[in-house]
Structure 1
């Protein structure tokens, strides 16, 4: 990352336990090096053992990432960065509205059969990611299932997670795949108004759909 990016991120990092007298040992490697290594791995889609020699040893980078994942520090950092972006756009850090959608992705050969499935509509064998973003497109909640799980089935769990993490959310926009009882359930159990924005049957390709001052780009297929 650039010096400017690191300066912005550094002040948002959780303070290590040893610096606050809560035990533990000082880390050998710089956090900036570790984050650059993880970003390189994710962007390049490489294996841990393929980490270039310019970075710290792959097993140390993996141990760093695993510790941050298990202790919830990756999510904490993400939330702090998202809040900072929202504030820079003149928004309140805590959103009140969101957008829900899903996308099926072809699974690699290494993906276990038990965690994958076939999406008949998209003709994809793999997994499906279900996400809720704010009106700036920033991630709020994510859930990964087999591609065979329908949008409505997965969406039954998403509002509960959304309400748990973002208590001010009161409205969520979705496409036609989320029609049915979900609208009533979201309103009754979680006090969230789920608004379904439908496309006309003759719409093809990318279309901008206006709804209450918010614009949603949807692409068929």
Structure 2
């Protein structure tokens, strides 16, 4: 069944970039019920709209499935891998060194212990 796209849905180019970084099916497990792209679209929908998991639209994968993938990605490092790969891709596209050599932290944003010298 074809559904209408949401503004948070991945484009084909975005999906081609991150699809290889998403985990495959676990060995010995049963086949997936939902397409991984649909699951990622659902995760991005929750992020963009700020809704609760149970408020996911019914044309996206079941909320519990999406929540379980979110937690799995958090624990197995998938999110970290995605962010690192996207950062490298953006820096290369901008003609910069793929790995940053330094960072700046604004003292107003990074709170420290009170009373420090």
Q: TM-score, with normalisation over the residues of structure 2?
A: 0.76
- Aligned mates of 1:57, 1:36 — CA distance in 2: 12
1:16 aligned to 2:24? yes
- How far the C-alpha of 1:24 sits from its partner, in A, is 4.5
Per the alignment, do residues 74 and 24 of structure 1 end up closer, same or farther by CA in structure 2, a change over 3 Å counting?
A: farther
- Asked whether 1:93 is paired with 2:98, we answer yes
Contact 2:23–2:78 (8 Å) recurs in 1: no
Moved over 3 A (4+): none
2:15 aligned residue = 6
State the SS of the aligned residue for 2:104: strand
Q: Does 1:152 align with 2:112?
A: yes
Residue in 2 that maps onto 1:39: 44
* CA gap 1:62/1:24 in 2 versus in 1, 3 angstroms: farther
Larger radius of gyration: 1
Structure 2 unaligned regions, length at least 5:
1-9
Q: Map 1:95-114 to 2 at 5 A.
A: 95-101=100-106, 103=109
Structure ranking higher in strand proportion? 1
**Which is richer in helix?**
2
The Cα of 1:29 is off from its aligned counterpart by: 1.5
Deviation at 1:17, TM superposition (A): 5.8
Aligned position for 1:55: 60
Q: Which has the higher contact order (CA 8 A, sep 6+)?
A: 2
CA RMSD of aligned residues (A): 2.3
Conserved in 1, the CA contact under 8 Å of 2:43 and 2:70? yes
Runs of 5+ consecutive residues of structure 1 not aligned to the other structure: 104-129, 131-150, 154-179, 182-221
Equivalent residues of 2:42, 2:60 under 8 A apart: yes
* TM-score, normalised via structure 1 length: 0.43
